[in-house]
Amino acid sequence: MSVTLQEFRRTSTRGHESQRTTIEETRTDKIFLTGVKIMLWLALIVVAVPLIYIVANSFSSPSAVSAGKVLLWPVEPSVKAYKEAFSDPLIMKGYLNSFIYAISGTLISVTLTIAIAYPLSRRTFFGRNVIMSVLIFTMLFSGGLIPTYLVVQDLGMLNTRWAMVIPSAIGVWQVIIARTFFRSTIPDELYEAATIDGASDLRFLWSIVLPLSKPVIAVIALMYAIFQWNSYFDALIYLKDPGLYPLQIVLRNVLILNTLTGSTTTTNLAQQLEQQQLANVLKYALIVISSLPVLVIYPFVARHFTKGVMVGAVKG
């Protein structure tokens, strides 16, 4: 009869205090652990409260919001703000544009990232260290805003959809993540076997590496998509035509610059007040609407994302 380690521990500490499954926790350890838990609860509350506050406000009636009555639960529940937001042509156009930029930008970015990350992962690729240095240098030093702007201008991309997806197409961080993945999961032997069967480098990449690399492709695709969805600065400097504006610029105009959408030409005081109140809730609703696509997929991708972050950040 063998005694398991746990049983052994239990018997060896018996008589001392109660039974345990691990080596004893001293009293200070217990106090410490309680402190840790309190701290984590605090962190949870601090992060969650503003989020809940926004959502609660967005579902409340305009008058309750304007009176500042809403805290963590909707007051006089209403979806008026959402109706208003979804019927605003400018907001919807921004939404559509953001989707266009996110999808096309992600396709372009992922393709280009793999195109450079895969060769850089191959030992037989001559000059990979030089190329890697060339890429990393761009993380440390840049020409700056205006010189980049001049390039985009010279390429005739100003005020076109290209300006949203091309100048920020490749992220060095994503290249590092993809390259590390290829290098650590695709063994050289696999390539040798494929070569013997007559596969070229491209064929090997397409038929063997890519199918094996779905996790990392998903991670970098999501990184690019979220980056693209959330970006507003490129639009601010490169775009002039409101018809091309992504959602974030529309949001900035409404939320931060307080440019009301819709017509406020009415002279009736009561109506003006009502519109002012509606504008207040609209802000909360817009925040929810614009973050929704990202937050809906977030729980599903968080774990993969975590892996990507780890690959990118942890050395040795």
Q: Across the strands, what pairs with 17?
A: 14
| # of chain residues touching other proteins (CB under 8 A) | 105
* Residue 205 tokens, joined: 């990449």
Helix or strand holding residue 156 (H, E): none
Q: Which is nearer to other proteins, 76 or 266 (CB)?
A: 76
292 makes contact with other proteins (CB under 8 A): no
156 makes contact with other proteins (CB under 8 A): no
Q: Which of residues 206-245 bind other proteins (CB under 8 A)?
A: 226, 229-233, 237
Q: Across the strands, what pairs with 14?
A: 17
Q: Which of 7, 19, 73, 151 is close enough to bind other proteins by CB under 8 A?
A: 151
The CA R_g of the chain, rounded to the nearest whole Å, is 27
Q: Which of 1, 146, 196, 270 is close enough to bind other proteins by CB under 8 A?
A: 146
* Residue 22 tokens, joined: 């691990």
3-state secondary structure of 14: strand
160 makes contact with other proteins (CB under 8 A): no
Q: Which of 7, 19, 21, 48 is close enough to bind other proteins by CB under 8 A?
A: 48
202 makes contact with other proteins (CB under 8 A): yes
Q: Which of residues 102-131 bind other proteins (CB under 8 A)?
A: 112-113, 115-116, 118-120, 122-129, 131
**In this structure, are residues 220 and 113 in contact, taking their beta carbons and an 8 Å threshold?**
yes
Q: Which is nearer to other proteins, 130 or 270 (CB)?
A: 130
Q: Which of residues 6-45 bind other proteins (CB under 8 A)?
A: 23, 25-26, 28-29, 32-33, 36-37, 39-40, 43-44
96 makes contact with other proteins (CB under 8 A): no
Buried-state track 79-98, b at ≥16 Cβ within 10 A, e below 16: ebbbebbeebebbebbbebb
**Other beta carbons less than 10 A from residue 288's beta carbon:** 18
